[in-house]
Amino acid sequence: MHASEKKFVPVMITPFDLKAKVDLDAVSRLIDFYLAAGVKGFFANCLSSEMFSISEDERLALTKHIVDYVGGKVPVVATGSFGLTIEDKAEFTKKIYDTGIDAAIMITGHFANVEDDDDVLLRNFEKMFSLTENIPLGMYECPAPYKRIIPAATFKKLLSANRLVYHKDTSITHENIKAKLDILKEMENNSLEFYDAHSPNAMYSLQMGAKGMSSISGNFYPEILVWMCNNANNPDKQEDVKWLQSEIARVDPLIHQAYPMSAKYFLKKRGLPVRTISRTFALELTPDQKKVLDEIHASFLGWCERLEIKQAHL
């Protein structure tokens, strides 16, 4: 991997069988599909995986299956900060790291209450660092249990511990992203990889120096995000980059509706063995929601045709 190479890392969904149990065979087919699309990593056991709706044993078994099936072709990271206390979170982090992942990701909202200032968060992260020995860690500004955005000054303090190798950013605003990326540029020896979760930012973040993207749109059309990562900084492709970015931004609010059920419907439409069964979204998609997703699928086919993108097939 060249230092300047950009990566798309999908936040994996979890397929379920007819009894709403994790369908590992469908997970394997999904991995094949992502790899065929050109992804450069996987984020397992994340919000898109419905991690708050599966048990601890399921989180571990699912993550281990993904690691074993990927077989070292690309890195795999997974959320580790589950448990009531910092000690509990450290214990689960060790368990999930033992599945063979490359880094355990910490949900920022797990390290301070919503009313706490960042000093509390910093103390808890420091404790977590001490309890997890040399396990590579990352941060995830996950929307649940609440979205804890890390300000640039706090980001710099956390990076100074030299324990963080991954950051998934959900701050959305260009100002926040630029401030953090500027800090990374100042800390030349820091090995942290910065991923933006917000697809409408893709062109901007990649051009500003983000390592890649890690957005839910990859559960609809990963080839499109791979193309953007590969071409955002290509001077010969800027017209197409800007056009595609406007298209991604146009449909992004729509794919968030009824997610992850919307992604499961879309993937099923694309031929994946993924049922429209979810533990976090209990309702069936409405006819109007399906119609919107059908229209986005038609747009996706048009994007591929214009940009000569080969669609991933199993």
Read off the pLDDT of residues 60-71 as tens digits, 9 standing for 90 and up.
Answer: 999 999 999 999
pLDDT band of residue 249 (cuts 50, 70, 90) is: very high
123 by DSSP, 3-state: which? helix
- Mean pLDDT, residues 143-162 taken together: 95
Q: How confident is the model at residue 1 (pLDDT cuts 50, 70, 90)?
A: very low
- Determine the pLDDT at residue 3: 57
Question: 163 pLDDT exceeds 70?
Answer: yes
The pLDDT value given to residue 313: 81
Report whether pLDDT(258) > 90: yes
**Residue 136 pLDDT > 90, yes or no?**
yes
Mean pLDDT for 137-156 is: 96
CA atoms within 13 A on the CB side of 276: 17
Q: Is the pTM value of this prediction over 0.75?
A: yes
Q: Which residue has the higher pLDDT, 57 or 187?
A: 57
Average pLDDT, the chain: 96
Q: Long-range contacts for 250-255 (Cβ within 8 Å, ≥24 apart)?
A: 251/296, 251/299, 252/199, 252/200, 252/217, 254/292, 254/293, 254/296, 255/216, 255/217, 255/220, 255/293, 255/296
Strand 103-107 versus strand 137-140 pairing type = parallel
Contacts of residue 136, defined as CB under 8 A and 6 or more positions apart, other chains included, come to 102, 103, 104, 163, 165, 166
For the 7-307 domain, the top CATH level (class) is alpha beta
